[in-house]
């Protein structure tokens, strides 16, 4: 049964309202314009067939466009129309080729094109681009190159529209040399030609070549548009070239370009990647329209710069303006919470995820695990991990590293073995977590075995962090000579990080002579690193050699090396507060120091505690007052006066906890019946009832 008979039989009786005169073509076209379904289209088409006067080119063309290109169309029906009706022109074939190119297989698309050629219709500069685009999207290299040769044979290779599509095809194929060669042979180039090649180099990671092409484009007196500028700004971001980025910003202003969402977002991202957050803020504020990507660009950029407080502040403003966060926002904010120890805000984000039925898998699930682990809630991290439907190497690694940070080596290693049973291959970061777990728990043999397996079983080349973990493992266990030999036989060049780990072991075990020798190694590699000086000063203090400790301090001043100031963060009511040693800038300074006095009085009344100055000599110099106002003690005092009884205090410290503060915090946890969770530079300490989870081994 042919198409005409089928349509007139099925629908002809229901289309009598359409008149049978050629004057009714506008009416038919209006009906086709408002047509919303294939059944309606078929009814109209049936009337067109019955009324031959209505078989005008524009009517047939509209029927083809509706069936071939509409989201509610039917490509098979369009092909049947092509077969059933005579007199189709090139425009009609192009419509069907376009539809098949975007929705069907390449083979079917070429079949339609071949039929067009067989019917004696010569392709134009629309026919070939549709086919080239189909090859590009399908990554059909052979077919695409055949079309290139075909275009040359039929003389279509000189058309700029065809050439632009061929350049894009080679760019997508990753054949930039071929794309550039074709570009160089083009007698005429338009903005699309330039932007396509520039974008190709930028996306392939050749930022400098993309910028060079942009400059060449200017030399050719070609004015860039917003798309070109957006692409080149991404290259400036990749290179961190602030000067060129500013020149581009000026170019936008001089040419009075529309700073739309894309250009604005690219400018914000460029300034942040180049370290100029002030200009990024200014562009952001001046953008006439902002979408969630705009907010994400600024929030993620601040996170990358380590300005986590500003990122959270911006997120709160985003909430006030009722901009709905997406996955990128959530991951960036969770990352900020992780670094600041903002447990309350992190929990709020988790509740938001649950209420909005967002899957806690993939990046979001991994970010949640990391957030809870770094905020001191390792059990909640485990709950999220266990609830994840799909776990990958990053999920397991986040949980293993979390266990390691909390000193739970057995759980970390057990999870590592579970990961292997699930057939998930560990990566280099996974082994940092495994080796750290062994180090914090003194599992020397276990650590050695995993370090060897990393190379032999998983073909992973150890990086400097892995060697540092092994030195730390051996050093903590008292195997200092073995650790030194291990460093000497490393296949890669050692750095201050590795020698610093051994110097830290000298501090733990009181090895003064060895410490002096290792310090020289550290300073040779990193003369401006304050860590080596601090460790050596503490080694001298522990060995009752205060004058040598003072000598180290003087040496630091001579070399103009400054000790990193200690700071501690604590979150109260969703706001992160930061304290430094001797800080008096907080709005509750008086109450904080009154609480400190109370703590000191209670400690002295209970046990006559003596402040341990052996490991704090380098940073003090102001007597007992400064020692009693170390940053974590100020944070603890603030937490005690700002939270209800029984509320855990969560503190993040940028340096290693000194032995005096460790001892005092244990006593405070017992005196005030509070769990105090401290994350220092190396690990977590859970103080509860006068005992620390590290068992005084850190």
pTM of the entire structure? 0.80
At residue 34, the pLDDT reads 65
> Mean pLDDT of residues grouped by 10 in the chain (698 residues)?
46 43 60 68 69 61 72 73 70 83 81 86 87 91 93 90 96 96 94 97 96 94 93 95 94 87 94 93 92 94 93 94 94 97 96 90 94 97 95 97 95 97 97 95 95 95 96 95 96 92 93 95 89 91 91 90 88 94 90 92 73 44 51 95 95 89 93 96 94 85
How far apart are alpha carbons 104 and 117 in whole angstroms?
20
* Those residues with Cβ within 8 angstroms of residue 108's Cβ, 6 or more apart along the chain or in another chain: 100
3-state secondary structure of 388: coil
What does the block give as tokens for 349?
């984000």
3-state secondary structure of 691: strand
How far apart are alpha carbons 597 and 602 in whole angstroms?
9
Cβ atoms of 586 and 638 within 8 Å: the answer is yes
How far apart are alpha carbons 483 and 444 in whole angstroms?
12
DSSP per residue over 152-194, as a string? HHTT-TT-HHHHHHHHHHHHHTT-HHHHHHHHHH-S---HHHH
Cβ atoms of 506 and 487 within 8 Å: the answer is no
At residue 35, the pLDDT reads 67
Closest by CA position to 599, among listed 676, 672, 688: 672
Phi-psi region of 426 (alpha: psi -120 to 50; beta: other; left: phi over 0): beta
How far apart are alpha carbons 92 and 98 in whole angstroms?
10
Closest by CA position to 230, among listed 245, 216, 208, 215: 245
Q: How many CB atoms lie within 10 A of CB 233?
A: 26
Strand 676-679 and strand 684-688: pairing? antiparallel
How far apart are alpha carbons 31 and 321 in whole angstroms?
43
Cβ atoms of 159 and 127 within 8 Å: the answer is no
Cβ atoms of 629 and 583 within 8 Å: the answer is yes
How far apart are alpha carbons 581 and 573 in whole angstroms?
23
């Amino acid at each position: 049964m042919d198409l005409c008979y089928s349509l007139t039989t099925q629908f002809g009786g229901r289309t009598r309202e359409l008149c049978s005169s050629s004057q009714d073509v506008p009416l038919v076209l209006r009906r086709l314009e408002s047509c919303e379904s294939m059944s309606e289209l078929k009814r109209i088409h049936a009337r067109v067939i019955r009324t031959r006067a209505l078989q005008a080119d524009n009517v047939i063309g509209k029927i083809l466009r509706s069936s071939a290109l509409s989201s509610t169309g039917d490509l098979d029906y369009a092909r049947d129309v092509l077969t059933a009706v005579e007199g189709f022109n090139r425009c009609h074939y192009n419509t069907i080729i376009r539809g098949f190119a975007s929705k069907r297989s390449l083979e079917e698309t070429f079949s339609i094109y071949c039929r067009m050629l067989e019917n004696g219709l010569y392709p134009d500069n629309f026919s070939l681009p549709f086919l080239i685009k189909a090859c590009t999207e399908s990554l059909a290299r052979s077919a695409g190159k055949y079309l290139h040769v075909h275009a040359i044979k039929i003389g279509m290779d000189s058309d700029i529209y065809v050439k632009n599509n061929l350049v894009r095809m080679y760019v997508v194929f990753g054949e930039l040399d071929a794309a550039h060669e074709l570009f160089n042979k083009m007698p005429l180039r338009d903005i699309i030609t330039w932007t396509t090649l520039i974008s190709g180099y930028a996306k392939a990671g050749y930022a400098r070549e993309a910028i060079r092409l942009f400059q060449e484009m200017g030399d050719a007196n070609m004015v860039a548009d917003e798309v070109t500028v957006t692409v080149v700004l991404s290259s400036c971001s990749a290179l961190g070239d602030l000067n060129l980025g500013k020149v581009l910003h000026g170019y936008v202003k001089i040419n009075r370009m529309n700073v739309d969402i894309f250009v604005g977002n690219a400018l914000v991202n460029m300034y942040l990647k180049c370290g100029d957050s002030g200009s990024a803020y200014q562009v952001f504020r001046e953008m006439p329209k902002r979408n969630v990507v705009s907010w994400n660009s600024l929030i993620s950029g601040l996170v990358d710069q380590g300005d986590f407080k500003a990122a959270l502040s911006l997120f709160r403003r985003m909430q006030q303006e009722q901009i709905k966060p997406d996955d990128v926002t959530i991951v960036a904010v969770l990352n900020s919470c992780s670094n600041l120890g903002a447990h309350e805000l992190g929990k709020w984000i988790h509740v938001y995820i649950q209420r909005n039925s967002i899957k806690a898998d993939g990046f979001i699930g991994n970010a949640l695990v990391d957030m809870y682990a770094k905020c001191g809630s390792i059990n909640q991290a485990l709950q999220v991990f266990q609830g994840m439907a799909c776990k990958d190497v990053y999920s397991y690694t986040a949980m293993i590293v979390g266990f390691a940070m909390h000193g739970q080596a057995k759980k970390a290693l057990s999870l590592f073995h579970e990961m292997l049973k699930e057939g998930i291959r560990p990566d280099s970061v996974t082994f940092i977590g495994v080796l750290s777990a062994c180090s914090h728990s003194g599992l020397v043999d276990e650590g050695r075995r995993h370090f060897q397996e990393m190379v032999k079983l998983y073909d992973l080349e150890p990086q400097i962090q892995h060697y540092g973990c092994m030195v730390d493992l051996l050093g903590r266990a008292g195997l200092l000579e073995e650790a030194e030999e291990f460093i000497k036989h490393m296949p890669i060049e050692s750095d201050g990080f590795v020698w610093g780990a051994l110097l830290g072991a000298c501090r733990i075990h009181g090895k003064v002579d060895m410490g002096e020798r290792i310090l020289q190694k550290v300073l040779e590699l990193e003369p401006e690193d304050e860590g080596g000086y601090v460790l050596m000063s503490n080694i001298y203090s522990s060995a009752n050699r205060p004058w040598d400790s003072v000598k180290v301090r003087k040496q630091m001043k001579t070399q103009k090396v400054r000790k990193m100031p200690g700071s501690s963060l604590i979150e109260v009511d969703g706001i992160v507060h930061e304290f430094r040693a001797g800080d008096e800038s907080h709005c509750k300074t008086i109450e904080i120091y009154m609480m400190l006095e109370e703590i000191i009085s209670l400690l002295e009344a209970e046990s006559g505690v003596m402040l341990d100055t052996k490991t704090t000599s380098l940073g003090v110099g102001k007597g007992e007052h400064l020692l009693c106002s170390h940053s974590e003690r100020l944070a603890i005092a603030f937490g005690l006066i700002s939270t209800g009884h029984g509320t855990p205090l969560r503190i993040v410290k940028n340096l290693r906890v000194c032995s005096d503060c460790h001892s005092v915090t244990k006593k405070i946890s017992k005196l005030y019946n509070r769990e105090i969770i401290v994350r220092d530079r190396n690990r977590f300490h859970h103080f509860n009832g006068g005992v620390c989870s590290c068992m005084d081994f850190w």
